[in-house]
Chain A
Amino acid sequence: GIQVEQSPPDLILQEGANSTLRCNFSDSVNNLQWFHQNPWGQLINLFYIPSGTKQNGRLSATTVATERYSLLYISSSQTTDSGVYFCAVEYGEKLTFGTGTRLTIIP
């Protein structure tokens, strides 16, 4: 099956800092999505981004499908950005999740 790896696994930043999270996948995929899992366990959809670049406020994402990676940028981090960020790829009609990046924003 497809392998989806995220880096870094853990990231601790001061409030106001910028960060870049990476997602690498081992095969061509139909689509890619980024999610944020809050401390209560709910996964919130951030971006549906099979290719190209999208921006939503302080967050933006870029997927380079030909090179099999995606990046999530978070600017001016806030404590509410803390949590685990997952990328997930649609491969063979199934959604396969990456290993996640745990982001901790310190006030």
Chain B
Amino acid sequence: KAGVTQTPRYLIKTRGQQVTLSCSPISGHRSVSWYQQTPGQGLQFLFEYFSETQRNKGNFPGRFSGRQFSNSRSEMNVSTLELGDSALYLCASSHLGPSGNTIYFGEGSWLTVV
């Protein structure tokens, strides 16, 4: 069973540009969530999607947005990039099973804003 796949793995953008990151969850998982990891703030929750609907949202400005498609694949977009948006962006998919709501992470997308 393939894991959570994130693309691109590495990218460099300029301040003011926008970026789109993609995430393909584990087959059969309908919940996808996104996290931002920085040295200063640690791992912070961005948003969660389930069946194409945003269920939860973290405390990030409106420049951060996302969506989920009917095949459960998800994208997140950051507009008007700032230097502080440089981070590792992690996507996770989860499924409520006998062992509980276990969450699986992708390898992440490393974004550098210059």
Of chain B, the residue at the smallest CB distance from A97 is B43
Candidates B43, B45, B102, B110; contact of A33 at CB < 8 Å: B102
Candidates A42, A45, A86, A90; contact of B43 at CB < 8 Å: A86
What is the interface of chain A mostly: helix, strand, loop, or mixed? strand
Candidates A31, A90, A100; contact of B42 at CB < 8 Å: A100
Of chain A, the residue at the smallest CB distance from B45 is A94
A99 CA to B33 CA in the complex, in Å?
19
Is the CB–CB distance between B45 and A96 below 8 Å? yes
**Binary CB contact string for chain A from 70 to 107 against chain B (1 if under 8 A, 0 otherwise):** 00000000000000001010100111110110000000
Size band of the interface chain B makes with A: 20 to 34
Is the CB–CB distance between A94 and B56 below 8 Å? yes
A48 at the B interface (CB under 8 A) = yes
Interface residues of A in 55-77 (CB under 8 A from B): none
Of chain A, the residue at the smallest CB distance from B44 is A97
Interface residues of B in 31-45 (CB under 8 A from A): 33, 35, 37, 42-45
The 6 closest A-B pairs by CB, nearest first: A97-B43, A43-B105, A48-B100, A42-B107, A41-B108, A48-B102
Binding site for A on B (CB under 8 A): 33, 35, 37, 42-45, 48, 55-56, 58, 88, 90, 92, 99-108, 110
